[in-house]
Amino acid sequence: MNSHPSPVTVTPMQAKKALGQHFLTDRNYCRKIVEYAGIQTGDSVVEIGPGTGQLTELLLEKGARVVAVEFDRDMVRSLEERFSCVPGERLSLVQADILGLDWAALPVLGSFKLVGNLPYNIATRILRKTIEVKDQVHWFAFMVQKEVAERLLASPGDRDYGYFSVLMQYHFERRPGFDVPPGAFTPRPKVMSHVMMLVPKAVQEKLLDPDKFDRLVSRAFAQPRKTLWNNLGGAGYPAELLGKAFQVASLEPKTRPHQATLSQYACLARML
The pLDDT tens digits for 5-27 are 444 444 333 555 555 567 899 99
Same domain, 178 and 217: no
Residue 259 CA to residue 266 CA, distance in Å, equals 14
Query: Which residue, of 139, 167, 200, is where some domain finishes?
Result: 200
Report which DSSP code applies to 272.
Answer: -
Position 53 pLDDT exceeds 90: yes
Residue 47 CA to residue 62 CA, distance in Å, equals 14
Strand order in the sheet with 65-70: 91-95, 65-70, 44-48, 112-117, 137-145, 193-200, 172-180
Sign of the C-alpha dihedral computed for residues 177, 178, 182 and 188 taken in this order: negative
CATH code at position 258: 1.10.8.100
Query: Which conformational region is residue 266 in: left (phi greater than 0), alpha (psi within -120 to 50 degrees), or beta?
Result: alpha
Same domain, 101 and 128: yes
Q: What are the CA-CA distances from residue 29 to residues 23, 95, 197 (Å)? A: 12, 25, 15
Q: What are phi and psi of 180, to 5 degrees?
A: -130, 120
Q: What is the mean pLDDT of residues 151-169?
A: 95
Contact predicate 141/127, CB 8 Å? no
SS3 63: coil
Which pTM value belongs to this model?
0.89
As a whole number of Å, the end-to-end CA separation of the chain is 60
Residue 169 CA to residue 154 CA, distance in Å, equals 9
Has residue 178 been placed in a domain? yes
Residue 57 CA from chain centroid, whole number: 21
Query: Which residue, of 145, 178, 200, is where some domain finishes?
Result: 200
Q: Which residues constitute the domain of residue 42?
A: 12-200
Q: State pLDDT tens for residues 234-269.
A: 999 999 999 999 999 999 999 999 999 999 999 999
Q: State pLDDT tens for residues 119-146.
A: 888 999 999 999 999 999 999 999 999 9
Has residue 2 been placed in a domain? no
Same domain, 48 and 138: yes
Q: State pLDDT tens for residues 67-110.
A: 999 999 999 999 999 999 999 999 999 999 999 999 999 999 89
Position 114 pLDDT exceeds 90: yes
Has residue 5 been placed in a domain? no
